[in-house]
Amino acid sequence: MYSIVNKVEGNMVDIRLLRLFIAIYEEKNLTLAAEKCHITQPSISAALKQLEELLGNDLFLRDKKGVQPLNSAHELYPHAKRLVNDSATISTLFMSKATTPKISVGVCNSISKYKTATTLSHLERLAPNCHFILTSSDKSDCRIGFEKDKNDTDLFIPLWEEKFVFVTKENISAPSKIEDFYHLDFIECPSCEVHQEVLGLISSKNIALNIVSTAETKEQAFLLALAGLGSCFLPMGLVEKVSDINVFDINLPIRGRSVGLCMPSHQAINPVLKKIRSDAKLISIENF
């Protein structure tokens, strides 16, 4: 025989009808069930009739004392409870996701991954249960980047200072003056801001660099240096904790980079960023 449960699963039964059925089943009385569901008795009687017609089965025996569940009601009850509970769980799940605060954080290339991770950890502690979205887009709510790239109206919270270092596979002593770079094979990286500074310093000494390879980005320059295809100047964050290449501090008048948390001024009303701004000292440069 085709069971009552099969009929429920085979028809798109309104969850509301199942809720009313559960109330009737548990109260054994239409008046009490109607009061429990905050509707009138005629309304709950009409809903019960609709459910019985949809399933093609009587569910209750009516008598002067109230209603008595038939076998079909006993069969339906546990499944109706499960479906109603599942429905409530789904609603709660999506309501929770819809109300979870979100913040997008842009992360610039070639900065320290370890200090960036530490910064994100600090942000998470300031904004627990927040949904973080990492992106390389400048259209993010805020970004971890360089002070020199911020707009005039941007807010900037300093995080750390990042120096440039000399990176090479060659077995040399630590260079201490411009002349020490003479005869070394160099990687050309026009997009690197320090590249032009070094060219200016070296050309002032009438020294010609021996360019043996070219990279479009600092990350690519690092790969070439790691492969032994030349030497270059790179930000320390790009080569930190790398053991199979020589990294030297440089005694040259080369500027480092100030890294910080940058946010457009119009984002100051974002409650998550407002909290971060008020506790900015917890993610400041002193933590590094």
Q: pLDDT per residue over 155-185, tens digit each?
A: 888 888 888 899 999 888 888 777 777 788 8
DSSP state letters, 129-180: T-EEEEES-TTSSEEEEEGGG--TT-EEEEEEEE-EEEEESS--PPP-SGGG
**What is the model's pLDDT at position 92?**
63
**253 has a pLDDT exceeding 80:** no
Beta bridge partners of 210: 185
Of 148 and 279, the one with more pLDDT: 148
DSSP single-letter state for residue 28: S
Average pLDDT estimate for 99-121: 85
Please state, in angstroms and rounded to a whole number, the distance separating the CA atoms of residues 234 and 193: 10
DSSP state letters, 91-143: HHHHHHHHHS-EEEEEE-TTS-HHHHHHHHHHHHHHSTT-EEEEES-TTSSEE
> pLDDT digit string (tens) for 52-99?
888 888 999 988 888 999 999 999 999 999 888 887 777 666 655 556
**Per the structure block, which two tokens stand in for 152?**
């005039």
**Which string of b and e fits 87-125 if b means at least 16 CB within 10 Å?**
eeeeeeeeeeeeeeeebebbbbebbbeebbebbbebbee
